[in-house]
């Protein structure tokens, strides 16, 4: 099938990447994403009937593929909390034009069987979050005392299932786990897995973000270069979020995602869908566009919905990270735990 000409936004950025948050729930309370003080026992998560069904999500993907979407990433909250999510993977893998289906997970529920079921259903890649290698630091970040070994075991399960190379995301926060950068790098060298260091971001409104807590990419790279000789390598495709590097001694590859110090909005072709069907054209967006109203309540035909999607992307101008300054006025942003990273 010839790839459709991707629609472009007001900054001529082609639409390529659709991120589906399939649940707003998570079993972790990571302090930079879903702090316990806000997401406590009394927090009202979305009722099941508010969530888009697998058939509705499949329809959305069928409508986006002809507009240029090739890559789907399943996120959350924690996507493995959505029951039978492999059935959704199976349905999306059958959509013409979708060449890549990935998932971002905290790994807690990623057993060998689950990893195999996801792979068999058509999942291509998996990214597992791990912010430190010692239980004390990791436990203080996930704030539920989840042990490191549980996540390392998930990475082994993903690898055994052939979801390789496994990517590992580490959010680096000054004074919390910045001293763990070298230990993490050392652990994943020569494993074939790709560790990505992520600058701590001012996502949402609840993580108490301060610029002082950000460890910029240049500092992370300098840390690594004091131990190993590395060189930059070309990105796989336009719009790739991570800057790629490899160890000259053959130790493999790592990446740095620098939304704060070296924004990458110029080539951002990502759109995000929340569990209840609101579209966000930027991770730092506010309102969101109510797609569920069109596909569930409005009974609109596919061409009519497709037109609305094209219009939404066509008027997009988002470039929050490029515009972010210390003067940036805080506006109410959607929570990352709601639309995924």
Interface positions with ligand SF4 (CB under 6 A): 259, 264-265, 268, 270, 282-284, 318-321
Kindly tell me which of 129 and 259 has the beta carbon lying closer to ligand SF4.
Answer: 259
Kindly tell me which of 138 and 320 has the beta carbon lying closer to ligand SF4.
Answer: 320
Contact 7, 67 (CB under 8 A): yes
Task: Give the shortest CB-267-to-ligand SF4 separation in angstroms.
Answer: 8
Task: Give the shortest CB-329-to-ligand SF4 separation in angstroms.
Answer: 16
Task: Give the shortest CB-264-to-ligand SF4 separation in angstroms.
Answer: 5
Kindly tell me which of 146 and 256 has the beta carbon lying closer to ligand SF4.
Answer: 256
Task: Give the shortest CB-282-to-ligand SF4 separation in angstroms.
Answer: 3
Kindly tell me which of 200 and 264 has the beta carbon lying closer to ligand SF4.
Answer: 264
Q: What are phi and psi of 175, to 5 degrees?
A: 80, -5
Kindly tell me which of 121 and 283 has the beta carbon lying closer to ligand SF4.
Answer: 283
Rounded CA-CA distance 283/271 in Å is 8
Contact 200, 32 (CB under 8 A): yes
| Cβ burial 127-143 (10 Å sphere, 16+ → b, else e) | bbbbbbbeeebbeebbb
Task: Give the shortest CB-15-to-ligand SF4 separation in angstroms.
Answer: 12
Rounded CA-CA distance 109/34 in Å is 18
Task: Give the shortest CB-42-to-ligand SF4 separation in angstroms.
Answer: 31
Contact 295, 60 (CB under 8 A): yes
Kindly tell me which of 88 and 283 has the beta carbon lying closer to ligand SF4.
Answer: 283
- Whole-number CA gyration radius for the chain: 19
Rounded CA-CA distance 33/209 in Å is 10
Helix-strand-coil split of the chain, %, nearest 5: 35, 20, 50
Task: Give the shortest CB-285-to-ligand SF4 separation in angstroms.
Answer: 7
Task: Give the shortest CB-64-to-ligand SF4 separation in angstroms.
Answer: 16
Q: Which two tokens stand for residue 176?
A: 């919390």
Give CA torsion, residues 295, 296, 299, 301, to 10 deg. 20
Kindly tell me which of 223 and 267 has the beta carbon lying closer to ligand SF4.
Answer: 267
Rounded CA-CA distance 266/256 in Å is 17
The β-bridge relationship of strands 17-21 and 71-75 is: parallel
- Those residues whose C-beta lies under 8 Å from the C-beta of residue 113, and which sit 6 or more positions away, are none
Kindly tell me which of 111 and 319 has the beta carbon lying closer to ligand SF4.
Answer: 319
Rounded CA-CA distance 302/60 in Å is 9
């Amino acid at each position: 099938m010839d790839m459709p000409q991707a629609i472009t936004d007001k900054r001529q950025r082609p639409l390529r990447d659709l991120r589906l948050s399939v649940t707003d729930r998570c079993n972790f309370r990571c302090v930079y994403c879903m702090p316990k003080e806000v997401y406590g026992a009394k927090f009202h998560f979305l009722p099941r009937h508010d969530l888009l069904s697998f058939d509705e999500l499949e329809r959305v993907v069928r409508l986006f593929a002809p507009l240029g979407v090739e890559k789907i990433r399943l996120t959350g909250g924690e996507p493995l909390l959505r029951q039978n999510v492999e059935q959704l993977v199976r349905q999306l893998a059958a959509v013409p034009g979708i060449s890549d289906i990935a998932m971002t997970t905290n790994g807690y529920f990623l057993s060998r069987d689950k990893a195999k079921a996801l792979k068999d259903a058509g999942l291509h890649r998996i990214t597992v979050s791990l912010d430190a290698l010692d239980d004390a630091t990791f436990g203080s970040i996930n704030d539920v005392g989840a042990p490191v070994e549980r996540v390392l075991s998930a990475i082994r399960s993903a690898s055994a299932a052939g979801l390789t190379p496994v990517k590992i995301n580490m959010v680096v926060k000054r004074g919390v786990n910045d001293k763990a950068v070298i230990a993490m790098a050392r652990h994943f060298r020569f494993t074939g897995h790709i560790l990505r260091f992520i600058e701590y971001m001012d996502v949402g409104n609840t993580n108490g973000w301060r610029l002082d807590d950000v460890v910029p990419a240049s500092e992370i790279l300098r840390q690594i270069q004091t131990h190993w000789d590395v060189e930059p390598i070309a990105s796989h495709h336009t719009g790739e979020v991570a800057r790629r590097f490899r160890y000259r001694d053959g130790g493999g590859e790592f990446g740095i995602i620098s939304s704060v110090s070296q924004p990458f909005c110029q080539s951002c072709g990502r759109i995000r869908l929340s569990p209840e069907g609101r579209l966000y054209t930027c991770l730092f967006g506010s309102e969101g566009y109510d797609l569920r109203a069109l596909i569930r309540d409005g009974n609109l035909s596919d061409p009519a919905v497709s037109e609305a999607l094209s219009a939404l992307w066509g008027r997009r101008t988002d470039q929050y990270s490029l515009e972010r300054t210390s003067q940036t006025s805080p506006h109410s942003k959607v929570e990352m735990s709601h639309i995924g990273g």
